[in-house]
Amino acid sequence: MIRISTLATVAVLLAGAAHAQAVTVKIDSGPVTGVTEDKANVFKNIPFAAAPVGELRWAPPQAVKPWTTPRPASAQGPSCPQTMNPDGSPNFGGANGPTSEDCLQLNVYAPPHAAKTAKGGAPVMVWIHGGAHRWGAGWVYDGQNFARDGVVVVTINYRMGVLGYFAHPALTKAAKPDEPVGNYGLMDQIAALKWVQRNIAAFGGDPKNVTVFGESAGGMSTLALLATPSAKGLYQKAIVESGLGWFAPTPLAKKEAEGLKLMAKIGVPETATAADLRAIPADKFNALDADYQPFTDGKLMTETASQALADGHFADVPLIIGSNSGEDSLMGPAPVNPAQAAMIPQIARAIYKEETAAGDDILARAIFTDRVMGGPARWVAAEASSGAPSWLYYFSYVGSRFRPAVTRSAHASEIQYVWEYWGRRTPLSTVSDEDKAMATLMHACWVSFARTGAPKCGSQAWPAYTPAADQLMEFGAPSGVRTNFRKAKLDAQAFVSLPTLKLAK
């Protein structure tokens, strides 16, 4: 006799089967079988490059070995090597679970009938995750609601940390002639964009309508892609969320010297060969702290994003760029100490009068937010506006569950509104109608931009940015267009920071 509990379980399984059915798509490397769910055809763990292991560690991504039998693509693959929280909770980049060097895979979320309903295919958005180029994974982000609204979303993994942004004299010596070294994470992102060009039509996407977008390290990566000649033509639009924007050049020789010192921390002698380095277990690198980000290696990246903008070499595509009101969350909770406060110049105190009155900690945090994120975003929008249009935003909305204790929008807090998805850290039970309305607004802006190259946000008119008009869209309570927003403060940050970047003009 079947027990009631067993019958209930069977009913749940049958109901799930009715909403998740297998679907197979043929791509250039072989067939993949994902699942069709209510909102999307979902394909996970599709390799876009060969496993970067053995001789391929610290090498440009190589082609995947083809297969003929349908490859299962319904289960999540591993994250790239990184430090995970011991208790199994999501780390700083939102990832947890298994890791592997064999991690160059991507996920696709596609409208079930995209190929039939969109002339030439549906718009495509390729997401580059954040996490300081040390943490995170593409699989953390669920693209179902973008697919619901007719957009094909691709989320990617890329090499990070020592495996992603690392130079060493032995690796340079072992590289093939004219082969780039050091920016392996950026190379992976380019390889993923090339995969999209070759394969996205099979999922109903339009390879001629691709938007690359990312947040934090993903935003920095997006700016690097816009400045990298070999990436041009792989996308038609870009969105940068809290991606900085002012970058000083770091040549290969300096990164090689840093690499030698970094390896010395784990007992690797300066005489180590490329083979010696490739034999080191990957988990030995996780605790090594360094400046991991795209740099001017001289071959793949010949100039920074700042230099490319100033030189007129930046990709001329429509651009959305912006920052959050509480980017100072990156500073951590500790208040500034007296020594740090003493370094704040008097001219800054004169410009930041309200913050000065509120105390040194508030002042330091405001300066950090403006110098690291707000000022660079405004400068990039201004420089880019001379070609294809750019749009500038400022995200100040604070989720209802955090108010009134929290008054500023922390770094990365806009992501769940952009994706209209409450993710792995926000229980739906804590989301208010006001929160949902903000998500509906931002998500609509991003979707319309992906479709047409201009953000249309319902009744909210968002003008393109020009230095003369100096207008941005604030996503806050309330939202709306702001003119000359924090002008004196952001102008001051540009005056201080830009001369250090070695710009051409």
205 neighbors 152 (Cβ within 8 angstroms): yes
Torsion, Cα of 42, 52, 102, 62 (10° steps): 30
Task: Convert 26-86 into a string of H (helix), E (strand) and C (coil).
Answer: EECCEEEEEEECCCCEEEEEEECCCCCCHHHCCCCCCCCCCCCCCEECCCCCCECCCCCCC
Question: What radius of gyration, in Å, describes the C-alpha atoms of the chain?
Answer: 23
The one catalytic residue in 79, 168, 215, 216 is 216
Closest CA to 224 of 243, 210, 196: 243
Neighbour-count burial for 354-374, b at 16+ CB within 10 Å, e otherwise: ebbeeebbbbbbbbbbbbbbb
Amino acid at 122: A
Within 10 A of 290 (CB to CB), how many other CB atoms are there? 18
Q: Based on the residue annotation, tell me whether 168 is a catalytic residue of this protein.
A: no
Task: Give the number of other Cβ atoms within 10 Å of residue 353's Cβ.
Answer: 11
**CA-to-CA distance for 420 and 429, rounded, in angstroms?**
15
Residue among 327, 355, 383, 420 flagged as catalytic? 327
For residue 231, give the H/E element and its range.
Answer: none
First to last CA, the chain: 82
The answer to whether residue 19 is catalytic is: no
User: Which entry of 411, 414, 420, 443 is annotated as an active-site residue?
Assistant: 411
113 is catalytic: no
DSSP type of residue 207 = E
Tell me the CA distances in angstroms from 319 to 222, 243, 453, one per residue in order.
11, 13, 8
Tell me which residues are annotated as active site. 216, 327, 411
